[in-house]
Amino acid sequence: MNVYLHELKQYRKFTLIWVLSLCLLIILLMMMYPTIEQDAESFLKLLENYPEELRYALGMYIENITSVLGFCAFIFSFTMLLTTIQAMIVGVNIMTKEVREKTADFLLTKPISRKALIIYKILASLTVFIITNIFIYLVSLISIKLMSKTTFDVGLFTQIAFSLLLTQLLFFTLGLFISLVLKKVKSPLGISLGVVLLLYALSTLLVKEHNDVTRYLTLYKYFEPNFIFMKNGYDVPFIIIGMIIVTLLFILSLAIYDKKDISV
């Protein structure tokens, strides 16, 4: 438990910065919606002038964006890029920082098994993500109610918002696995940005519609907010596959760390 609390304390400032930045971004984007709602036809004509590839890259689907939940799905689709960077940084960093900061030997001499150590650190990381997503959810919900008088399905909104946390789990476990496979990690930020932006670019180039088979090739589109809005819920196959990926990466990470030679 001391490890868990220590990790939360270390990520306190990091979490605060991410929460404030993401919430401010959501508020600023939601402030655009009243204008779009009042003149939806002109806005759609403006969007039609942009290349289709650019619209998909930005998460703008013409058939969705003028409704309040459709616009919210666009915001979350864009926000997802940032929340996955957060998750990837934490995943790459939680074990490798001990080596970089020369504290691995101190931790490993404690009366706690390696598996328990990494589990406590993972639980602390999940707490960070949950806190981040609670604030995102509340700020988004309040913003929608303030910026639009249109009624909306709160249940569907919750599913769209929850997609951020689900995608974070995928990228967090991927980052953790990569950090343990690599012999030495000098820059968690560099690795995180490289992997996230590569997968984001692939998702933009490959996937156009919710029924594209290529969705299976990129983690970004498993819980795409726009697709959730269009289908009025999650695609069950992607939930199953996503949870399998998270479980496998988690188990492999535990096994690798339990046997890995730690530089001290």
pLDDT, tens digit, 9 for 90 and up, residues 115-157: 888 888 899 999 999 999 999 999 999 999 898 888 888 999 9
Q: Considering the domain boundaries, does residue 264 fall inside one?
A: no
- Structural domain total, the chain: 1
In a domain, 162, yes or no: yes
Calculate what percentage of the chain has a pLDDT beyond 90.
Answer: 38
What tens digit of pLDDT does each residue of 3-26 get?
A: 888 888 888 999 999 999 999 999
Expressed as residue numbers, the domain containing 19 is: 2-259
- What the block records as the tokens of 221 is 């589109």
For 201-217, what is the mean pLDDT?
A: 74
Contacts of 117 (CB under 8 A, 6+ apart): 3, 107, 110
> What is the C-alpha separation between 259 and 147, in angstroms, rounded?
53
What share of the chain in percent tops pLDDT 70? 87
pLDDT in tens, 52-101: 766 766 667 767 778 889 889 889 988 999 999 999 999 998 887 766 66
In a domain, 64, yes or no: yes
With cut-offs at 50, 70 and 90, classify the pLDDT of residue 243: very high
Quick check: is 159 in a domain? Answer: yes
pTM: 0.89
| Domain assignment of residue 177, yes or no | yes
Report if residue 91 sits inside a domain. yes
